[in-house]
Structure 1
Amino acid sequence: MNQHLKQSLLGMLIGGMAITGYNSTAFAQSEKATQTDPELKIYRAAATKINDLVHTKLDVRFDYAKRYLYGKEWVTLKPHFYSTDSLTLDAKGMDIKEVALVKGTTNSPLKYTYHGMQLRIQLDKTYQPTESYTIYISYTAKPDELKVKGSAAISDAKGLYFINPDGKDPNKPIQIWTQGETESSSVWFPTIDKTNQKTTEEISMTVDKKYVTLSNGKLVSQKNNPDGTRTDTWKMDLPHSPYLFMMAVGDYAIVKDTWRGKEVSYYVEKPYEKYAKNIFGNTPEMLTFYSKILGYDYPWVKYSQITGRDYVSGAMENTTATLHGEFMQKTPRELLDNNNYNESVIAHELFHHWFGDLVTAESWSNLTVNESFADYSEYLWLEYKYGKDAADEHSFDAGQSYMSMVQYSGDKDLVRFHYRDREDMFDQITYQKGGRILHMLRNAVGDSAFFKSLNLYLRTNAFKSTEAHQLRLAFEEVTGRDMNWFFNQWYFGKGFPQFDISYNYNDAAKKVTVIIQQIQREDKVWQIPLAIDIYEGGKATRHNVTVSNRVDSFTFAYNTRPDLVNVDAEKVVLSKTDDHRAFATYVYQYNHAPNYLDRRIAIDEASDAQASNPDAVKLLQAALKDKYHGLRSYTISRLSFDNENVKTATLPILVELAKQDPSSLVRAAALDKLGELKDPKYTPLFEAAIKDSSYSVEAAGLEGLAALDINKAYTIAKQLSNDSKGKLINAITGVYAKKANPEDVDFVAKKFDATSGQDKLNAAFDYLGFLSKINNTDAVIKGVDQVKAMTEQFKNSQVNTYISNWMQEISRKKSQESTAVSGDNRAALQKQADYLKKASEEIKNAIQ
């Protein structure tokens, strides 16, 4: 599952946005709540296996009007070890019509009890572990009548979703799709809904002939029925967990590809058929790449990817049939500004087909053996396809997302046997921190050992369920080393080290001593292997050391005083670091140290010193021409035009970047920075940008022009509004807000309504920003109600907290503005402020 920080939209929001109303006691309060919460005292063990699933056969049809599924199931099981005369199946919110034992061609009724969540069946005899038996169940699934809650990563848990089933929304297709993780497959078929169960499957779906279907495995038959329907049968011959079962039905275009003779297919809404290979076309190359590095070929019969409207989870790695949110559907023009985000999601879900689908976490406590690998697969793909800088930037953003979450809500163990709800496991610890831990593990053992260990882990545990210890054992077998020191501190503990680094040079003795102090507030002392590079005479000498005490010192000889001592030279350690050294070493680091973070750290130091240090300005000038577009964009964001020297030195470079940088994101960043100057001489540049193929560049041009000539910008915004996506919508709404024309209020409201899935989160923040700038009570009330309704749908406490706090901030702003006016304007602004405050409190109370 993709939880989205660039990898996960939620992660981007948490990692990239200030926490309005945040106070310094939040972490302490979180820690205190953790200590007193009775839910956290429950040990979350792996599910006890009494019966094992063997094969699941389903025959289903759909009632669109009632939003029901009518199902028949034949489920084959056998006792796991001990003999048993009973069976308990998860079956949530169903009507159970018949339960029988299949004996040859006849069904013998069985006694059962059912109270809405579990079906308890009394078998006809006591079965031994060597005996299998098949149960027949006739049932009706009623997902829309079931009250269940979701999580940060999965905003709903109905299992089976009917999208626009009555066709009343002309802007939305009629679709059906399923979402099984965590334990929601049992909403649409009775099963043992646990990760440590595995079963083969066969699903027959009867649908209207105009629709196509998708499920796990291979389409083995299609039968036309006299009533205008068609029955499609999908068969899965390899076992996998029930939460990975899926169905999808809709009016899709199917674009076919291939990989080593296996079908690779892309199911998209028909307007996107011609773009399907622009979106998904690197999938065969990913299959080759991952099969090669793992030494284990993609094991399944086919690989399909499909999009779903109003999807609740970003993306989901259903075996052989990944489901993506509709955000994946983009035109080539939109993909210009995508910065490999779509590809990261595609890579994430594909890699799950080894880590999660082939080898599955035995419990949600060990979810990291699924999700940290999928998270890290994004790094591996970006490193292979786009270079180490792109991968390292992605990794840095992921680490920052995790650290922001810790600041917001406290830290937890990576492998956690105590949690309030299994949905809580889907967080930045399991994903982003877990991915960074794998990166450190790779660095600690070396590439060859890392990938050989993954191969052994996969071969040993294929079609089984595992925990983190089995991963440790694979690494120990390959490396011949005890790895408990690594796993105990990173997998079965929490936190990260905080380093204070200082240097003592003795030119007489020609030695430098590096002093590394661990200053984290916790008692825990970390054992961290890291590299220290000594740059002397233009050459770097590598020293591998291990930090293992509160204070460690390492002394190295030199011939001439080093230009740079680069601690954690590989820049892999997940830590916070205060590094005490001269600015000249950062200049040298930017020019000579190879990694993305080496250069980014130097850029940060230069930006802090740009007002007073000419060498800092020179470094920023060089960084504006960095080989990696991400650092060019980042450097632009750090420039301070308050300083005339900085402005003079960098403006000519910025203008050229705005005109002709190959990256649309760099062009947009340069235009944004130039727009801050509000200088009419850049009007032609902004006007030219409005004709760019990139929405981001268009947006930057429009915003720059609006700061100079709002009437001209308003006219152009009207022209652009019919083809607006992404940041261009933000720019248009900003122009409309400045004009405050009541006729334009519907633009943002309609754009918000037209957005669904996780993209709606970004749209909500855009909407609130727009509402903060207008004095239109009806529009504010309508908009606040729309955003509030979204928070009720998403059920995402962290994002909803941000929205609540932002509403409070807008309320304060409008209340303050009301004191500067009189009459009807004053009353209107105060009414808006009161409504925002009320909605904010209601959202906050709902979270609690």
Structure 2
Amino acid sequence: MNQHLKQSLLGMLIGGIAGLGMSTPLMAQSDKATQEDPALKIYRASATKVNDLVHTKLDVRFDYAKRHLYGKAWITLKPHFYATDSLTLDAKGMDINEVAIVKAGKNSPLKYSYDSLQLHIKLDNKYQPSASYIIYISYTAKPDELKVKGSAAISDAKGLYFINPDGKDPNKPTQIWTQGETEAASAWFPTIDKTNQKCTEEISMTVEKKYVTLSNGKLVSQKNNADGTRTDTWKMDLPHSPYLFMMAVGDYAIVKDTWRGKEVNYYVEKPFEKYAKNIFGNTPEMLTFYSKILGYDYPWVKYSQITGRDYVSGAMENTTATLHGEFMQKTDRELLDNNNYNESVIAHELFHHWFGDLATAESWSNLTVNESFADYSEYLWLEHKYGKDAADEHSLEAAQSYMSMTQYAGDKDLVRFHYRDKEDMFDQVTYQKGGRILNMLRNAVGDSAFFKSLNVYLKANAFKATEAHQLRLAFEEVTGRDMNWFFNQWYFGKGFPELDISYKYNDAAKTVTVILQQIQKDPKVWQLPMAIDIYAGGKTDRHNITMYNRVDFFTFAYTTKPDLVNVDADKVILAKTDDHRSFSTYAFQYAHAPNYMDRHIAIDEAAEAQATNPEAVKLLQLALKDKYHGLRSYTISKLNLANAAVKAATLPALVELAKQDPHSLVRAAALQQLVELKDPQYVSLFEAATKDKSYGVAAAGLEGLSIQDLGKAYAIAKQLEGDTKGKLVGAIAGVYAKKGNASDVSFVATKFDETSGQDKLNAAFDYLGFLSKINNTAAVIKGVDQVKAMTAQFNNSQVSTYISNWMQEISKNKAQEATAVTGANRDELTKQADYMHKTSEEIKKTIKE
């Protein structure tokens, strides 16, 4: 399951609202409250295995009007070790019509009890572990009537989803898709819904002929029925866990690809058929790359990817059939501004087919062996395809996301056996921190040992349930080293070190002493292997050291005084660092140290000093020409053009970047800086930018033009309405808000209606921003109602909290505006403020603790 949209929702909210200049409420609970939480006293062990799943055969059909699934299940099981005469299956919110044992092709009824969550079956005999048996169940799944708890990661957990089943929404296709993780597969078929169960599978789906289907494994038969339907049978011959079972039904285009003779297909809505290869086309190369570095070829029979409307959780690695949210469907114009985001998601879900689907976490406590690897696979792909700078940029963003989370929700162990709810495991610790930990492990043992260890781990645990200790043992087997120190501090402990770095030069002795201090409040002392590079006399010497103590001193001799002593030269340690050295060393670092982080840190230092230090301005000038587009964009964002010296030194380069940088994100960032100058000399530049193929560049150009010539900007905005997505929607809404024509409100409202899935959250921020700027009571009420309906759809306390808080802030601002005017305007603004306040309170009441 993908971290970008799944568990990072809180981070997205914090970042999005902070970017709007809003304060964010503290989400963390006090340590005392945490310690007193009774749920945290429960030890979350792996599920006890009484019976083992062997094979699951399903025959299903769908009732769109009732949103029901009518199913027949034949489940083959055997006792795990001890003989047993009973069986407990998970089956959530179903009508159970028949339970029987199948012998010699005949069904014999069995006694059972059902409590709406579990089916307790009395078997006809006491079965020994050497004997298997088949249970038949006829049932009706009713997912829309099931009351289940979602999470920040998974906004709903009913397992089976009917999308626009009655076809009433003209902007939305009719689809069916499933979401099994964490334990929602048992909402659409009876099973033992635990990660440490694995079985083979066969699913027959009866659907209208106009629809295509997708499931795990191979499509082995299609049969046309007399009633105008068709039955598709999908068969999975290799065992996998129930949460990875999937079905999807809809009116899709299937774009076919291949890898080593295996099907690689992309299922997209038909308007996106021509873009499917642009979106997914690197998948075969990913299959080759991951197979090679792991020394373990992709093990499954095919690999398909499909999109789903209103998908609840980013993306999901269902074995051989990954399901993506509709955010994955992008035109070629949208992909220009995507900065490899879609590819990171694709890489993440594909890598799960080794880490998660092949070797599966034995419990949610050990989710790291699934999700930390999938998170790190994004780094590996970006490094391979786009270079180390792109990978390191991605890694920095991940580290920042994790550290930001700790401010609001505290910190937790990577492997944790105490949690309130299994959904809580899907967080920035499991994903972003876990990915950074793997990067440190790779650095500590070296590339060859790292990938060989992964190979040993996969071969030992293929088609099994596994945990972090087995990963440790694989690394110990390969390296010959005890790895407990690493796993104890990073996997079975929480937090991260805070380092204070200082230097003492002795010119007489020609030595430099590096003083490393761990200053974190936690008494824990971290063992930190790292490289220290010393640049002197035109060459670089590397010293590999390990910090063992709260304070350590490392002394190095030199013949020529160093230009730079670069601590943690590979920039892999997950830590907060305060490095005490002169600016000249950062200038040297930018020019000579090789890594993205070396340059990023130097740019930060220059940005802080740009007002007073001419050398800092020179560094920023250099950085505007950095070889990596991400650092060019970052440098642009750090420029203080209010400072005359900075402006004079960087403005010519900035204008050139806005005009002709090859990367759209750089052009957009440069334009945005020029917009802030409010200088009429750039009108023609802004107008030209509105014709750019990139939505982001066009949006920046339109915003700049609206400041100088609202009439022209308005006319161009009307022309751009026909092909408008992403940031351009918000820019057009901003122009319309300034213009104030009532007839334009419908554009913004319609665009919000057309957006769905996770993208709707960002659209809600744009929409509320628009509503905050207009004085049109009918439009405000309609828009507030639309956003309120969105919060109900998300059914997520964090979403509701932030939307409610922002509505309150807008309400206060409108009430303040009302005091400055008289007459009808005052009355209308007051009505808007009151409605915002009332709706905010209504949303707040729905928030679940």
The equivalent residue for 1:291 is 291
The 10-residue stretch of structure 1 (239-248 or 719-728) with the greater mean CA deviation from structure 2 = 719-728
- Paired with 2:128 and 2:674, the residues of 1 have a C-alpha distance of 77
The equivalent residue for 2:751 is 751
The equivalent residue for 2:422 is 422
The equivalent residue for 2:521 is 521
Whether contact under 8 Å (1:15, 1:401) holds in the other structure is: no
- Paired with 1:6 and 1:58, the residues of 2 have a C-alpha distance of 29
Mapping 1:152-163, distance limit 5 Å: 152-163=152-163
The equivalent residue for 2:43 is 43
- Paired with 1:735 and 1:63, the residues of 2 have a C-alpha distance of 46
The equivalent residue for 1:333 is 333
The 10-residue stretch of structure 1 (316-325 or 523-532) with the greater mean CA deviation from structure 2 = 523-532
- Paired with 1:395 and 1:712, the residues of 2 have a C-alpha distance of 42
The equivalent residue for 1:127 is 127
Whether contact under 8 Å (1:244, 1:319) holds in the other structure is: yes
| Match status 1:403 vs 2:403 | yes
> What amino acid maps onto 2:540 in structure 1?
A
**Residue 10 of structure 1: how far off its partner (Å):** 5.2
The equivalent residue for 1:831 is 831
Mapping 1:443-454, distance limit 5 Å: 443-454=443-454
Mapping 1:659-698, distance limit 5 Å: 659-698=659-698
**Residue 8 of structure 1: how far off its partner (Å):** 5.2
The equivalent residue for 1:791 is 791
Whether contact under 8 Å (2:50, 2:80) holds in the other structure is: yes
Whether contact under 8 Å (2:804, 2:841) holds in the other structure is: yes
**Residue 355 of structure 1: how far off its partner (Å):** 0.3
**Residue 793 of structure 1: how far off its partner (Å):** 2.2
The 10-residue stretch of structure 1 (704-713 or 281-290) with the greater mean CA deviation from structure 2 = 704-713
Identity of aligned residues (%): 82
The equivalent residue for 1:366 is 366
Look up the SS of the partner of 1:131 in the other structure: coil
- Paired with 2:6 and 2:228, the residues of 1 have a C-alpha distance of 44
Mapping 1:509-548, distance limit 5 Å: 509-548=509-548
**Residue 824 of structure 1: how far off its partner (Å):** 2.5
Look up the SS of the partner of 2:708 in the other structure: coil
The 10-residue stretch of structure 1 (442-451 or 550-559) with the greater mean CA deviation from structure 2 = 550-559
- Paired with 2:820 and 2:57, the residues of 1 have a C-alpha distance of 70
Look up the SS of the partner of 1:676 in the other structure: helix
The equivalent residue for 2:263 is 263
Mapping 1:455-474, distance limit 5 Å: 455-474=455-474
> What amino acid maps onto 1:239 in structure 2?
P
Mapping 1:790-829, distance limit 5 Å: 790-829=790-829
Whether contact under 8 Å (2:489, 2:526) holds in the other structure is: yes
- Paired with 1:521 and 1:16, the residues of 2 have a C-alpha distance of 30
Deviations 1:144-171 (CA, angstroms, capped at 9, x unpaired): 1101121111111110011111111111
- Paired with 2:253 and 2:67, the residues of 1 have a C-alpha distance of 24
The equivalent residue for 2:608 is 608
Whether contact under 8 Å (2:317, 2:350) holds in the other structure is: yes
Look up the SS of the partner of 1:772 in the other structure: helix
Whether contact under 8 Å (1:603, 1:623) holds in the other structure is: yes
> What amino acid maps onto 1:598 in structure 2?
D
Whether contact under 8 Å (1:6, 1:12) holds in the other structure is: no
* Structure 2 residue ranges without an equivalent (≥5): none
Deviations 1:552-586 (CA, angstroms, capped at 9, x unpaired): 11111111111111111101011111111101111
- Paired with 1:139 and 1:382, the residues of 2 have a C-alpha distance of 46
Mapping 1:577-616, distance limit 5 Å: 577-616=577-616
- Paired with 1:805 and 1:820, the residues of 2 have a C-alpha distance of 24
The 10-residue stretch of structure 1 (812-821 or 628-637) with the greater mean CA deviation from structure 2 = 812-821
**Residue 550 of structure 1: how far off its partner (Å):** 1.5
**Residue 797 of structure 1: how far off its partner (Å):** 3.1
- Paired with 1:741 and 1:585, the residues of 2 have a C-alpha distance of 56
The equivalent residue for 1:221 is 221
- Paired with 2:93 and 2:191, the residues of 1 have a C-alpha distance of 13
Look up the SS of the partner of 1:599 in the other structure: helix
**Residue 9 of structure 1: how far off its partner (Å):** 5.9
* Structure 1 residue ranges without an equivalent (≥5): none
Cα distance, 1:25–1:456 mapped onto 2, change above 3 Å = same
| Match status 1:185 vs 2:185 | yes
The equivalent residue for 1:196 is 196
- Paired with 2:14 and 2:428, the residues of 1 have a C-alpha distance of 10
The equivalent residue for 1:249 is 249
Look up the SS of the partner of 1:413 in the other structure: coil
**Residue 24 of structure 1: how far off its partner (Å):** 9.5
The equivalent residue for 1:144 is 144
Whether contact under 8 Å (2:54, 2:77) holds in the other structure is: yes
The equivalent residue for 2:118 is 118
TM-score by length of structure 1 reads 0.98
The equivalent residue for 2:169 is 169
**Residue 43 of structure 1: how far off its partner (Å):** 1.0
The equivalent residue for 1:33 is 33
Look up the SS of the partner of 1:257 in the other structure: strand
Cα distance, 1:345–1:807 mapped onto 2, change above 3 Å = same
Look up the SS of the partner of 1:707 in the other structure: helix
> What amino acid maps onto 2:512 in structure 1?
V
> What amino acid maps onto 1:87 in structure 2?
L
The equivalent residue for 2:433 is 433
> What amino acid maps onto 1:211 in structure 2?
Y
Whether contact under 8 Å (2:17, 2:23) holds in the other structure is: no
- Paired with 2:827 and 2:580, the residues of 1 have a C-alpha distance of 55
Deviations 1:53-76 (CA, angstroms, capped at 9, x unpaired): 000000001111111111011000
The equivalent residue for 2:303 is 303
Look up the SS of the partner of 2:692 in the other structure: coil
Whether contact under 8 Å (1:30, 1:409) holds in the other structure is: no
Whether contact under 8 Å (1:687, 1:701) holds in the other structure is: yes
> What amino acid maps onto 2:476 in structure 1?
E
Whether contact under 8 Å (2:498, 2:518) holds in the other structure is: yes
- Paired with 2:396 and 2:578, the residues of 1 have a C-alpha distance of 17
**Residue 18 of structure 1: how far off its partner (Å):** 1.9
Cα distance, 1:726–1:708 mapped onto 2, change above 3 Å = same
**Residue 792 of structure 1: how far off its partner (Å):** 2.4
- Paired with 1:14 and 1:490, the residues of 2 have a C-alpha distance of 26
Whether contact under 8 Å (1:333, 1:694) holds in the other structure is: yes
- Paired with 2:136 and 2:820, the residues of 1 have a C-alpha distance of 73
Look up the SS of the partner of 1:205 in the other structure: strand
**Residue 715 of structure 1: how far off its partner (Å):** 1.2
Look up the SS of the partner of 2:545 in the other structure: strand
The equivalent residue for 2:342 is 342
**Residue 779 of structure 1: how far off its partner (Å):** 2.0
Equivalent residues, number: 847
The 10-residue stretch of structure 1 (300-309 or 531-540) with the greater mean CA deviation from structure 2 = 531-540
- Paired with 2:713 and 2:25, the residues of 1 have a C-alpha distance of 42
- Paired with 2:584 and 2:5, the residues of 1 have a C-alpha distance of 34
The 10-residue stretch of structure 1 (779-788 or 346-355) with the greater mean CA deviation from structure 2 = 779-788
Deviations 1:381-403 (CA, angstroms, capped at 9, x unpaired): 00000000000000000110111
| Match status 1:737 vs 2:719 | no
**Residue 784 of structure 1: how far off its partner (Å):** 2.1
> What amino acid maps onto 2:160 in structure 1?
L
> What amino acid maps onto 1:777 in structure 2?
T
Cα distance, 1:661–1:439 mapped onto 2, change above 3 Å = same
- Paired with 2:579 and 2:25, the residues of 1 have a C-alpha distance of 24
Deviations 1:3-29 (CA, angstroms, capped at 9, x unpaired): 2169956544445652977589765x4
Whether contact under 8 Å (1:15, 1:405) holds in the other structure is: no
Mapping 1:206-217, distance limit 5 Å: 206-217=206-217
The equivalent residue for 1:549 is 549
Mapping 1:484-499, distance limit 5 Å: 484-499=484-499
Whether contact under 8 Å (2:6, 2:313) holds in the other structure is: no
Whether contact under 8 Å (1:15, 1:402) holds in the other structure is: no
Cα distance, 1:25–1:124 mapped onto 2, change above 3 Å = closer
Alpha-carbon RMSD across the aligned residues, in angstroms, is: 1.5
> What amino acid maps onto 1:260 in structure 2?
R
- Paired with 2:32 and 2:386, the residues of 1 have a C-alpha distance of 44
The 10-residue stretch of structure 1 (335-344 or 7-16) with the greater mean CA deviation from structure 2 = 7-16
- Paired with 2:738 and 2:393, the residues of 1 have a C-alpha distance of 35
Look up the SS of the partner of 2:677 in the other structure: coil
Cα distance, 1:16–1:521 mapped onto 2, change above 3 Å = farther
Whether contact under 8 Å (1:113, 1:121) holds in the other structure is: yes
